Amino acid sequence: MKKRYIALIAVIGIIIGWITLGGTQAVLHATSSTEFCVSCHTMQKPLAEYQGSVHFSNQKGIRAECADCHIPKDPIDYLITKVRASKDIYHEFVTGKIDTDAKYEDHRLAMAETVWEQMRENDSATCRSCHSFDAMETYDQSASAQKMHAYGRENNQTCIDCHKGVAHFAPQATLDTSAFDHLFDMAKNTKADAVKVYPIKTIKMADLATINPTVELTTVAHKDNQRTVMVSGYQMKGAESVIYMGEGQRSIIATLTDAGIKALKLGDAKTDAYGNQWRSAELTGTIEAPVLASNQPLWDYAEELDNVYCATCHAKIPANHFTVNSWGPVVKSMGARTDISELNLEILTKFFQNHAKDVATHQ
């Protein structure tokens, strides 16, 4: 009789366990569906963004559902993700944390960074459930995509480092404008006898030239608020109206007037491997614009620009990854996708070019 009771209890336990486990699995599965995910009114905004993305509709007819991107397949990561998601229910029904468009936008960056960090922790596991380096037909990719995928593999980057904003809008870049104003405050402390100085913005050198920001100038003389400075670089035959950063390095540091071209002090011509003739070039003239005694504050500011306008969308690319000549078109094409100002774009470009892999001090 006792054995029957034990057997009955065991059977009941198994049934209860089966119902519990089965019920739990059913609940977990149901709450992972796209229908459940977007059933809350606060999800209508990300739903609209998702519906306009290539993950929702594409030429292949393949659709990634919410769970495909946000819930890893690994059992442990799956459960951890589901537990983390419980806070969303709390904020939906208790705090109303993102229950208006304004609140949603206020928290967009924080929410995005949370997801990005989770994906870095699991090496973009949900991305890799569909995408694989080994399965890629790289010859069908653009040249830049091939290069960046190779770079990512070599440097152990994960998918989310570069592929942000693919299903939902990436957070809008915001820059602390006081950082740029601070450069002018620092310029007020530049001593009159500073030997090397660096303009913060595009400036005039009398009626001879326009000097680009960050360019190194050598002080020849100074009087009151006026400095006589010399800019040094290279001139290429056929492009006599500009001075370049270095021989073969087409980063413009000064644009010359007719008077400036005549005032140039030129060296002997040398022909490069491509048949272009280069000569060292020096131009001396007066400036009155504020300048810095060091270029480091400008590079610090450029780093901030990189963080805001570049790293918000993809992993930071080291300046020594490209050559001087490559950085120009790269920054220009990427800058066109943002609202970065022309001046900030020039400062950022000069930062990358001055730290490029073919600059002697960075090789």
Q: Which of 254, 219, 214 is nearest to 235 (CA)?
A: 254
Sign of CA dihedral 237, 243, 249, 251: negative
User: What is the DSSP code (8-state) at residue 96?
Assistant: -
The reply, when asked if residue 149 is annotated as ligand binding, is: no
Contact of 305 with 341, CB cutoff 8 Å: no
Which position has the token pair 């997801």?
115
222 is annotated as contributing to ligand binding: no
168: annotated binding-site residue?
Answer: no
Task: Quote the CA–CA distance of 263 and 256 in Å, as a whole number.
Answer: 10
Is residue 127 annotated as involved in ligand binding?
A: yes
**Six-digit token string for 211:** 């000097």
Work out whether the CA dihedral 355, 356, 360, 363 comes out positive or negative.
Answer: positive
- Planar angle of CA 167, 170, 172, nearest 5 degrees: 155
Measured in degrees and rounded to the nearest 5, phi and psi for residue 224 equal 55, -125
Residue 159, annotated as binding a ligand:
yes
* Residue from 299, 1, 342, 326 nearest 179 by CA: 299
Got the DSSP string for 116-155?
HHHHHHTTSHHHHTT--GGG--GGGS-HHHHHHHHHHHHT
Q: Which of 319, 322, 324, 321 lies closest to 248, judged by CA?
A: 324
Tell whether residue 91 is among the known ligand binding residues.
no
DSSP state letter for 158: -
Binding site for heme, by residue number, is 37, 40-41, 66, 69-70, 127, 130-131, 159, 162-163, 310, 313-314
Binding site, by residue number, is 37, 40-41, 66, 69-70, 127, 130-131, 159, 162-163, 310, 313-314
